Amino acid sequence: MVIPVLPSLASWNSFRTRLSKSGPILKGVLNTMLTRRSWAEPWKIKVVEPVRMTTREYRLRAIREAGYNTFLLRSEDVYIDLLTDSGTNAMSDRQWAGMMIGDEAYAGSRSFYRFEEAVQRVYGYRHVIPTHQGRGAEHILSRILIRPGDVIPGNMYFTTTRFHQELAGGRFVDVVVPEAHDPADEHPFKGNVDLDKLESVVKSNSGKVRYVSLAGTVNMAGGQPFSLENLRAVRLLTERYGVKIILDATRVAENAYFIQQRQPGQLSRPIAQIVKDVCALTDGCTMSAKKDPIANIGGFLALNDEAIAEEARNLVVVYEGLHTYGGMAGRDMEAVAIGIDESVDDQHMHARIGQVSYLGEKLIGWGVPVVRPIGGHGVFLDARAFLPHVPQEQYPAQCLTAEIYVDSGVRSMERGGVSAGRDPETGEERRPSLELVRLTLPRRVYTQAHMDVTAESVLSVYEQRQHISGLKMVFEPRYLRFFQARFEPLPGAEERLHVQVRTPPPSSG
């Protein structure tokens, strides 16, 4: 989607007067142009939180102390925080009001029943098991559905999801369409499942595939959606083999927006209806309520099967909390319930993805290599194309996150070899085809000016890219290493590591 950027009202009026004097042909042009309108967010700002600007020298020290890992920075040292859209969203006044009326009863909280009703109504699943966040739901689901030796096909891995599948003794197999692995491919539905690949995995692992793990707007591919058409085909195929589909619904409303915009015949349908259709084609979902539902914490597991739900209720009391709070406070359940409804509002989603698109189109316009098409929750820089001289074993995407932070205080996240970790069987480092830096946009938090500052910083680093060299990992945690790993510049590269920008960034006060 290209967002039209129109001139200010004064210049627009003078342009209109000049144009209308120029005869009937131009009048036709004028009329066409008059039908164009800019869009703006469907909210106004009521509360603000100051952010701190630091100097370049300060940030250099901070990133060194953080072992060149943006997860290890202190947030007060960050100017624009694009690390994640997880739990970092701005709640609405209605959500905050809901927090005040949260029922904190240990059992049978009124807030749980509001939460349960919202999940059932919006997503359509029968049974709702609350969890503290998405990985809590993944843990419980994996324990129930996976037996040692099982194979779980999915449309590209996600870090925590695959980890819980492996912990339960399963093996994840990627069945996403090949276009998803090519950052430059413009396929509108790069989150689609490759049906032939899926069928061959199911056939060659007879009795070992109990469900397909299907994610909305595939995170590691750059926030890329699947189509309703593809999901229908997956459903037909899996039904033939008695295999379930479990949806990672974390960003399903964003996926529904892309279906609405890109799939023929869907444009007039509300996002809420498309979300319902998607969920109806699956058997259950895991959800991180920290994303789509615009909450700061929370999640759930939702299922249609009574027996699986019963087992999940058994396990939730062991690992999360009672089945009517699952690790959330009553007020959190209120915030999630209200956020779920807000997440499927068409105006909200237009503005949310419109902002991501604004940042992405700007970078594309300047020739910066990014994953195309622009995804739902962030703009993903293609670190291989950005730093072709830095080999993958020197973690180019990790390196780029550090450079961008030093340049402007913008915090991004590595989504490449570091995130991919090691193969549990061979112990070898995985080398994913996508080596990306994610500039993730929290919902309703930043303005267009923040996007401009971010884009200018990325451009500045891009223009100096030949001076950037790689990193070596000096501390590697055993699990989900990207969160806490530490790095150092390669020997001799310290001097060259941090590029000098042409103009001082906005934060180098």
**295, 303, 284: which is closest to 328 by C-alpha?**
295
**What is the DSSP secondary-structure string of 209-265?**
--EEEEESSBGGGTSBPPPHHHHHHHHHHHHHHT-EEEEEGGGHHHHHHHHHHHSTT
Q: Which is nearer to ligand F0G, 328 or 400 (CB)?
A: 328
Is 84 or 230 the residue whose CB approaches ligand F0G more closely? Answer: 84
Residue 362 near residue 458 (C-beta atoms within 8 A): no
Q: Per rule CB under 6 A, is residue 338 in the interface with ligand F0G? A: no
Min dist CB 158 to ligand F0G, Å, is: 4
Q: How far is CA 282 from CA 16, 84, 397, in A?
A: 52, 27, 34
**Which range of residues in 153-161, 172-180, 270-278, 468-476 is near ligand F0G by CB under 6 A?**
153-161
Nearer to ligand F0G, 361 or 414 (CB): 414
Please report, to the nearest 10 degrees, the dihedral formed by the alpha carbons of residues 226, 231, 233, 234 taken in order: 100
Q: Which of 56, 372, 411, 415 is catalytic?
A: 415
Q: What angle do CA 123, 129, 132 make, to 5 degrees?
A: 105
- Any contact of residue 282 with ligand F0G (CB under 6 A)? no
CA 266 to chain CA centroid, nearest Å:
23
Residue closer to ligand F0G by CB (options 201, 295) is 295
Does residue number 139 form part of the binding site for ligand F0G (CB under 6 A)? Answer: no
Ramachandran angles phi, psi of 383, nearest 5°: -70, -30
Kindly tell me which of 159 and 238 has the beta carbon lying closer to ligand F0G: 159
Place of tokens 């084609």: 281
| Residue 159 falls in the annotated catalytic set | yes
Among 89, 109, 219, 394, binds ligand F0G (CB under 6 A): 219
- With residues binned 3-state (H G I as helix, E B as strand, rest as coil), the percentages for the chain, rounded to 5, are 45, 15, 40
Interface with ligand F0G in residues 352-371 (CB under 6 A):
none
Using CB under 6 A, pick the residue from 288, 343, 357, 460 that binds ligand F0G.
288
By CB under 6 A, residue 263 contacts ligand F0G:
no
Element (H, E) at 303: strand 299-303
Which residue carries 């396990």 as its tokens?
Answer: 315
Tell me how far the alpha carbon of residue 371 is from its chain's centroid. 13
Catalytic residue among 248, 283, 332, 407: 248
Would you say 224 or 266 has its CB closer to ligand F0G?
224
Asked about 248 being catalytic, the answer comes back as yes
Judged by beta carbon, residue 84 or residue 109, the one nearer ligand F0G is 84
CA gap 348, 342 in Å, rounded? 7
Q: How many residues bind ligand F0G (CB under 6 A)?
A: 15
**Nearest to ligand F0G of 321, 470 (CB atom):** 321
* 361 touches 5 (CB < 8 A): no
**Active-site residue identified among 158, 325, 386, 405:** 158
- Residue nearer to ligand F0G on the CB measure, 102 or 134: 134
Q: Phi and psi (nearest 5°) for 422?
A: -115, 150
Sole binder of ligand F0G in the list 95, 161, 230, 457 (CB under 6 A): 161
Pair of tokens at residue 100: 């005040």
299, 396, 417, 432: residue in contact with ligand F0G (rule CB under 6 A): 299
Q: Is 483 a catalytic residue?
A: no
Structure-block tokens of residue 176 = 């996403």
According to CB under 6 A, which one of 69, 92, 109, 160 is a site residue for ligand F0G?
A: 160
Question: Please, which residues have CB within 8 angstroms of residue 273's CB and are 6 or more apart in sequence?
Answer: none
> What's the per-residue H, E or C state across 348-359?
HHHHHHHHHHHH
Catalytic, 106? Answer yes
> Pairing between strand 211-215 and 244-248?
parallel
Instruction: Give the footprint of ligand F0G on residues 117-136 (CB under 6 A).
Output: 133-135
Residue bearing tokens 């993805």: 353
The CB-of-28 to ligand F0G minimum distance in angstroms stands at: 48
Among 290, 348, 372, 450, binds ligand F0G (CB under 6 A): 290
Q: Which of 171, 291, 331, 362 is catalytic?
A: 291
Measured N-to-C along each axis, helices 195-204 and 228-241 cross at an angle, to the nearest 10 degrees, of 20
Q: Enumerate residues 67-106 that contact ligand F0G by CB under 6 A.
A: 84, 86
The CA-atom distances, in angstroms, between 193 and each of 76, 92, 173, 238, 375 are 41, 35, 12, 12, 17
Indicate whether 158 belongs to the interface with ligand F0G (CB under 6 A): yes
Q: How far is the CB of 217 from ligand F0G (least distance, A)?
A: 8
The verdict on 215 binding ligand F0G (CB under 6 A) reads: yes
Q: Which two tokens stand for residue 336?
A: 């999630």
Least Å from the CB of residue 35 to ligand F0G: 38
Which residue, 56 or 411, is less far from ligand F0G as judged by CB? Answer: 411
> Which residues in the 236-255 window bind ligand F0G by CB under 6 A?
248, 250
- Per the annotation, the verdict on 447 as an active-site residue is no
Question: Is 114 a residue that touches ligand F0G (CB under 6 A)?
Answer: no
Contact residues for ligand F0G (CB under 6 A)?
Answer: 84, 86, 133-135, 158, 160-161, 215, 219, 248, 250, 288, 290, 299
Q: What residues are labeled active site?
A: 106, 158-159, 248, 291, 415, 482
